[in-house]
Structure formats: C-alpha cells, structure tokens
Structure 1
Amino acid sequence: MKTVYERIQDMRGNLIRVKAQGVSLGELARVDLADGSSTFASVLMIEGDDVTLQVFKNTRGISTGDKVTFLSRQMQATYGESLLGRRLNGAGEPIDSGPQVVGIGVDIGQPSFNPTKRIIPREMVRTNIPMIDMFNCLVKSQKIPIFSIPGEPYNELLMRIANQTDADVVIIAGMGLTFAEYQAFIDNAEQAGTINKTVMFIHRATDPAVECMLVPDMALACAEKFAIEDKDVLVLLTDMTSFADANKEIAITMDQVPSNRGYPGSLYSDLASRYEKAVMIEGSGSITVIAVTTMPGDDVTHPVPDNTGYITEGQFYLHGGRIDPFGSLSRLKQNVIGKVTREDHGDLANTMIRLYSDSKRARERQGMGFRLSKWDEKLLFFGKLFEERMMNLEVNHALEEALDMGWMMLAECFEPKELGLKEKLVARYWPQVAANKA
C-alpha cells in the first residue's frame, strides 16, 4: 500500500522536501495539487527522514499542503514500436499532439550493458562526409562527441549523419533547444523521409532544468531496448553542455559544494554513465552515440569537454564551419581502415593530412612575405583543393568516391615520386586517376 504524505516541508526552485521513510534514490513520486491536477517528482537525496525530490515541472502552483505519494518504482520511459516517429519531452510525455505512447515501461538510468556481452567494434558507419569517412572513421557502437562553439552548424551536421547512415532507428535527444532548432530537426526528418524511424526526446530552453537531465536517460533507455531487439541505433545528443549546466543548476539549489567552475564533483560520472551506453551486443544490435559538446569561449579545458575527452573514443572538432582534421580524432578507426575499407585508405589519408599540414605552413610563409618555392606553390594549390573538396560540409561522397577524389587531387598537384607513397599503391591507383582525369 502506498503511503501518502500530506505536508511539504520546503520548496526551492524545482526541489521540494518532505519527511518520509522507506523510500529509495530515484524513486518516482506523484504530487497531487489542490486544483485536482498532479505532477511527478523523483527522489534526489535522502538525509535521515528528510527526502529531497526534484519536480518535473515548475513548482509554481504547489503548496505546502499538497499531497506526495511515493510510487515504489523508478522513473520510466515507454518503449514500443509506437515510439517511432514520435516527439516527447523529458518526462516522456508527447509534445507532437499525438496520442499517448503505448508500450512497456523501462526504468531509466540503469547500469550500462554487461561488459562480458560486448564485442570489439569492427563495422564502419558510413556518413558520406569525407572528413569523417576518410580521415576519422565513425565505427558502429562508438561514443564520440562533436566539440564546437555556439553558432557552428553542429545540429546541421547531426542531421546529415542521421539522414545518410543506415541505422535502423535514430534517436535525437535535444537539450536546451530553441524552437527554431527543434523545428529544424522535425523538418529535416520529414524532408529526408526518415521520420518513421526517428524518435525525438526534446527539452526546450524554456522547459524546467530537471527535464533536461532526464532527456539523455530517456533516449538511452529506449535505445538499449531497440538494440536488444537486434536493431542498430544511432543516438544523437545535443547539447551535453546544456545537460551539465542543468546538473550544475540543481546542485547549486541543493547547496552542494561546487567543484571546478561551479560544476558538481560528480560531473565525470554523470557524463560517463550516459556515454558508456554505447555498445555492440553479441548476436544482437548496437548503440552508437554522437554528442555535441559546446565549449564556452572555445575553451577545450572547460570542465565539460575536458571530462568528455577522457570518456569518449575521440572527437570531431567543428571549427569555422568545417571539421578540423588536426583537432579531430577517432580512436577506433584503426579497426576498420584497410580492413573493411580499401587497401589504399590508410596511406592515402595519412599522406593527404601530412600535405595539408605542410600547406598550412606554406600559407604562413606566404603571409609573412617570404619567397615561395615551387614546392610551396604546389602545397598551396593542394591546400585550396583540400578545403574545397574535402573539408566543405556541403560535399557529399561515398568513401570510395572520396578515395578516388583524393588520388585525383594528388595527381593534379604533385608527381608520384614526390609523395612517398608505396609503389604498389601508386601503380594500382595513380594510372586509374590519370585516366579519369583525361
């Protein structure tokens, strides 16, 4: 039998405090208001018989005389096939004017998948974005952030990835989105014809902070159920800095002692417990996680990107509207380059990055007024082509097309003997490129 507590001791922000016994952390409670309406809250902290709960909506309208009923279960997401094509808020409620989602309840915030059931990822996720597919391959079940600053086209990049991968299910978890950003995700999914395999959990900038904290847990709980049912799931989280800021706001309200730059000391584990949901399940599906992390002031030492870098398997660094090859890294690319891709992939990519780096130095020499050699001029021409044909986010090529284009660029700018490439690769691919050029 559920016990009803008829007095709220204290209210602060989205937090309420009651005196109760026999409750557990994360337990769900219902708050019944005097006007007959109700809202939900979850247990955030227990000190003796003082129980602090975070309310999923604003506490406006709640009085100290309202009733609190503990429901003896965790917060749950609703999972089922009817979830596909739907848009929900952080509390799991529909925001698309559709009916209630029908399905089974899944506890959120559960431990990550059993490590003994994980397998080493060796499958490439194709995006048709050369700066990803060719130079920093995305691998199925990888967890990787997009480091950026506000104003960069990171959501547009997420949309392209969502449209062009072959994932069975795409789950978008939006945190702190403006209405325009939220609408852009909807329009994109409808225009790309992917709406029927897309699920959106959305926290808008005007919604309570507590819902922002729930969004990734809702998304990842459903993703895990889809993966267990043999589906490849792509989870797109944007923006994890908003999630961390919501955590900080709640911690400050609870008078917790702040850590680095005001963030709670649990920031690392708060991020890791979400990212570690990325998994490839033996004999079943997978979860691949791509998460936007905006860096205030483009400061990579900020606590959120700094902690994220230790947890994830590389990063895509979005700078100046392009994926920067020098700030980007995929720690799993060695599992697929030259193994599930073409034999020339690794050598060609390394050579092109080396030459682009040299072209940047040649550009610096040019800017300082030094006389340029013929080699410098070749490097400058190559750098211009590289930025236009590879780094431009409007470019859309399958990996094999991008590799052929890479050989074409080398042939336009250099002689084979200048590159230090393996003779067998030059013999096999250079004539082909020359023939195409002719």
Structure 2
Amino acid sequence: MKKFYHHIVQISGNVITVLAPNVPYYSLAEVVSDQGTSLAQVIRLDGDRVSLQVFAGSRGIATDSRVRFLGHPMRVSASANLLGRVFNGSGEPRDAGPPLSDNQIEIGGPSVNPSRRIVPRNMIRTGLPMIDLFNTLVESQKLPIFSSAGEPYNDLLARIAMQAEVDLILVGGMGLKYDDYLFFHQTLEKHGALSRSILFIHTASDPVVECLLVPDMALAVAEHFAVNENKRVLVLLTDMTNFCDAMKEIAITMEQIPSNRGYPGDLYSQLASRYEKAVDFEGAGSITVLAVTTMPGDDVTHPVPDNTGYITEGQFYLKQGRIEPFGSLSRLKQQVNDATRSDHRALMDTMIRLYADFREAQEKRAMGFRVSEWDTKLLKYGDLFEARMMDLSVNIPLEKALDLGWTTLAECFEPAETGIKSDLIAQYWPKAQ
C-alpha cells in the first residue's frame, strides 16, 4: 500500500507542492480531496519539495488533501485494440469505446541508440506531387510543416493520413479546437483510414499538462508497433507551437527563469527528444514524424520554428493553401530519387528552375515591363504548374505526376528550351499525336 502525504505546503495555479522523500521525476500521483481523486504528475524536484501539475486543475484541493505517489510515470496501453480509437492527453478514451489497460508501456523513454539506426532508403508515397515529386518524404525522416495561422495545415495532415502508404497512422493533436478534432475523426472514418489510425487528441479546453503528454504517448505507441510489430508508422503531430506554449505556461507557473520570448531554456532539448524518435530499425519497422509548427506573425525566427529547423531534416512551407516550392526542402530526398525513375531528379530540377523564372516573369508583367515571347511561355507554364502540381486537391501517384510534368513542359516549351539531357528527352518527351 502506497503511503499518503497529508500536508500540501503550496498551491499555485494548478501546481501543488508537497514534502515527500525519494520521489521519481515525472512519476504520477493521486490527489485525494473532498472533490474526489485527481491525477497529477511530478514536474519539479527540489530536495524533498515535490511540485505536481494536477491534470484536472487544483479547484477543490486544500492544504490538508492527501497525496499518494504511484511510483511510475504515465503509461499507455499498446495493443491492437488501439486501432480506430481516440484518446485524450492522459490516455483516457475520448470516443465511446472502453478504457484499455492491457500491455501498459511507459511514455517519454530515451531516443533509439544510434548504432541501431540504419540509413533511410525507402520513400513514403503520399499522392501529393509537391511532396512525392519535389520533396520526397523518406521513411524515418523528421519534417516540420511551417505554417502561418489560418493555413489549412490540418487539412493537409488529414490528406496525408488518408493517402500515405504506411501501415499505421498516429495522430497527436495539441490544443486543437473541437471542430478540428471532429474533422480529423470524420475525415479518416469517411475515407476508410480510421481502422489503421490511432488518435491522441488534446483540445484547447483540456488541462495544459495533457498537452505535454500527447507527443510522448503517440511516439511511445509508434515505437511499440515499429519494434514489436514491424510496422511502418507515420506520426502526425499538430501543433508543436501549442506544445511549446504549454511548456512555457508551466515554466511561468514554476517561476523558472525565462529564455527567448519567455520560453524555457531547454526548449531545444525538449523538441529534440521528441523529433529524434524518428528512426528506421534494422530488422524491424520505422517511425516517421511530420509535425505542424505554426509561426506566430509568420515569423520563421520565432523560437519554436527556429529551434525546430536545427533538429529536423528539412521543412515544408505552407503558404496560401499550397506547399511552397521555394524554402521547402527534404534533405533525404536524394536517398530515394534515383531509385524511383531515371527522370525524377532531372525533371524535378528543371520544373523548379522554370517556375522560378515564371515568378520573375510574373513580377515583370506586374511592373508594366514588356513581356517577351519567352516570358509568355513561362507565364503559361507557371499557371499550369500551380494548378497541376501545387494544388493540394491533386491526388496522383508519383509515376503519373512525372508523366504530367513532361506533358506540362511539352505544352509550353520546345525540348531544347528545357535544358534536359537528350537521352531523357528521347525516352520521356510526349510524342506528337
């Protein structure tokens, strides 16, 4: 029987402080008050002074309430029964299903030993040309989606969840509006992807501490399925800025010395410990992480996207409802581009170069300069490129996207004007009808 501690020395917001010896960091505790039993987590140790964040808030907790430490950190069930289910940030069912208690695993464990990692080599197909053709997503990659507020980043994640060629989808939602949660659930269910998905959803009205648990829960479950079930797992996290804001809120409550813009000084380490869970296991499955990072004020130098960029292997920029070709980067795409089709890299480079020329021609026209015959070709090409490649509603396999790229070039230019090698022109340039 665990010992009860009866004297709470401080209550500050939703954080309570109790005197107790030999308490493990991040362990769980039960707080028993007149209002019932609440779950709490250790977030700070100072000798025998133990600070706990109460999940449901400190309302109704008095200094004579009782605290019992459970001796272990947060755990989550990891079994096939999770598939198709929705849980909150503390692992409790958010849907109408029963709670799960089988095969409990601890969350927040260390990243994988580098010696067990293998070089990423497999493409994850998404059906989106701006990803598959131009910035290929690779198994075990960690990529953020940098977005301004108001962009359809959750729509993009839902599209990827429906179409990605993986075995299992983990969705971790942090600070979501209830409408966004319903959107994810209904979209996956409507398109038949819910049966291979597991959702951990923290809404804006839920306790702040649960926001911090969501990515750890999703990644712990992902690691279980990758290691023990040999599954290719894609983890979709939204929004990591809300996660960091939750860390900042708790740090302020704990009166920690703030760093840049009020965020805690270990912001980089906290983000890295989650992103570094992306891994391709030798002889087992893989974990790939795509995480939305909203940029307050569209400022990429904000501490959250700024620190994220040092950790991850590229980024997608979402602007005006489309994945922006300039700035978006998958640093691992060269690992798979040569293994897809012989024309992949050359076509990708040529189409982006010509789209950059289109942007210059567009600016020239807007400023009233004379538009040359070459500029006219570029303007036609740019409009086709945006409609056929950048529109997020486009859903085609990579091979069809490559063929469509050649068709687009042929509709706007002569073969010699593209600068592509003659052997590729001979093999892939559309034949005149």
Bucket of the pairwise TM-score, normalised by the shorter protein: over 0.9
Report the counterpart of residue 41 of structure 1 in structure 2.
40
Alignment of 1:387-398 (within 5 A): 387-398=386-397
Q: Distance in 2 between matches of 1:176 and 1:154?
A: 14
Per-residue CA shift, 1:327-373, capped at 9, x if unaligned? 2000000000022x101000001000000000100111111111111
**Paired residue for 2:240?**
240
Deviation >4 Å, runs of 4+: none
Counterpart of 2:305 in 1: which secondary structure? helix
Amino acid in structure 2 at the alignment position of 1:415: E
Q: Deviations over 1:108-154 (max 9, x none)?
A: 11101121111111000000100000000000111101000111111
1:422 aligns with 2:421: yes
2: distance between equivalents of 1:226 and 1:14? Answer: 34
Q: 1:159 Cα deviation (Å)?
A: 0.6
Q: Which residue matches 2:10? A: 10
Q: Which residue of 2 aligns with 1:277?
A: 277
Which amino acid is the alignment partner of residue 380 of structure 2? F
Q: Give the aligned partner of residue 377 of structure 1.
A: 376
SS of alignment partner, residue 337 of structure 2: coil
In 1, distance between residues paired with 2:264 and 2:431? Answer: 58
- In the TM superposition, 1:21-420 aligns within 5 A as 21-35=21-35, 37-228=36-227, 229-339=229-339, 341-420=340-419
User: Within 1, Cα distance between the matches of 2:350 and 2:211?
Assistant: 43
Residue 14 of structure 1 contacts residue 210 of structure 1 at CA under 8 Å; is this kept in 2?
Answer: no
Moved more, 52-61 or 375-384: 52-61
SS for the counterpart of 1:347 is: helix
- Measure, in 1, the Cα distance between the counterparts of 2:413 and 2:372: 14
What is the alpha-carbon distance in structure 2 between the residues aligned to residue 43 and residue 388 of structure 1? 52
Calculate the aligned-residue CA RMSD, in Å: 0.9
Equivalent residues, number: 432
Which secondary structure does the structure 2 equivalent of 1:100 belong to? coil
Distance (whole Å) between structure 1 residues aligned to residue 59 and residue 166 of structure 2: 42
**Alpha-carbon deviation of 1:178?**
0.6
Q: Quote the offset at 1:412 in angstroms.
A: 0.5
In 1: Cα distance, 2:431 partner to 2:145 partner: 36
- 1:338 & 1:48 partners in 2: Cα distance? 57
Deviations 1:156-194, CA, capped at 9 Å, x for gaps? 110111111122111110001111100001101110111
Once the 2 structures are TM-superposed, how far is the Cα of residue 97 of structure 1 from its aligned partner? 2.2
Counterpart secondary structure, 1:199: strand
Report deviation, 1:400. 0.4
Mean Cα deviation higher: 249-258 or 38-47: 38-47
Q: Which amino acid in the other structure matches residue 196 of structure 1?
A: S
Amino acid at match of 2:323: I
Q: Distance in 1 between matches of 2:165 and 2:89?
A: 27
- Which ranges in structure 2 are unaligned for 5 or more consecutive residues? none
- TM-score by structure 1 length? 0.97
Q: Is the partner of 2:8 in helix, strand or coil?
A: coil
Contact 1:261 1:303 in 2 (8 A): yes
Give the share of equivalent positions with the same residue, in percent: 60
**Partners of 2:53 and 2:401 in 1: how far apart?**
50
Q: Deviations over 1:219-250 (max 9, x none)?
A: 11111001012011111000000000000000
Deviation at 1:434, TM superposition (A): 2.7
The alpha carbon displacement at 1:31 in A equals: 1.0
Measured after TM superposition, the shift of residue 96 of structure 1 is 0.7
SS of the aligned residue for 1:57 comes to: coil
Q: For 1:269 and 1:220, how far apart are their aligned partners in 2?
A: 16
Shift of 1:3: 2.1
Distance 1:327 1:170 in 2: 27
Is the Cα contact below 8 Å between 1:82 and 1:102 reproduced in 2? no
Read off the aligned partner of 1:226 and give its amino acid letter.
Answer: F
**Distance (Å, rounded) in 1 between the aligned partners of 2:370 and 2:238:** 46
In structure 2, what is the Cα distance between the partners aligned to 1:23 and 1:175? 28
Q: Residue 186 of structure 1: SS of its match in structure 2?
A: helix
1:80–1:102: 8 Å Cα contact kept in structure 2?
A: no
Deviations, residues 228-286 of structure 1 (Å, cap 9, x unaligned): 12011111000000000000000000000100000000100111100001111111111
Task: Give 1:45 shift.
Answer: 1.0
Distance across 2 between alignment mates of 1:321 and 1:95? 30
Q: Distance in 1 between matches of 2:46 and 2:185?
A: 43
TM normalised by structure 2 equals 0.98
Conserved 8 A contact 1:172-1:235? yes
* C-alpha distance in 2 between matches for 1:79 and 1:184: 25
CA distances 1:372-397 after superposition (whole Å, capped 9, x unpaired): 11111111111111111111111111
Q: Distance in 1 between matches of 2:22 and 2:220?
A: 26
CA-CA distance at 1:2 after TM superposition? 2.2
Shift of the alpha carbon at 1:315? Answer: 0.6
Determine helix, strand or coil for the equivalent of 1:139.
coil
Structure-2 separation of matches of 1:98 and 1:395: 35
Superposed displacement of residue 9, structure 1:
1.2
- Hey, what's the Cα distance between the residues in 1 that align with 2:115 and 2:13? 42
Give distance in 2, aligned partners of 1:214 and 1:135: 34
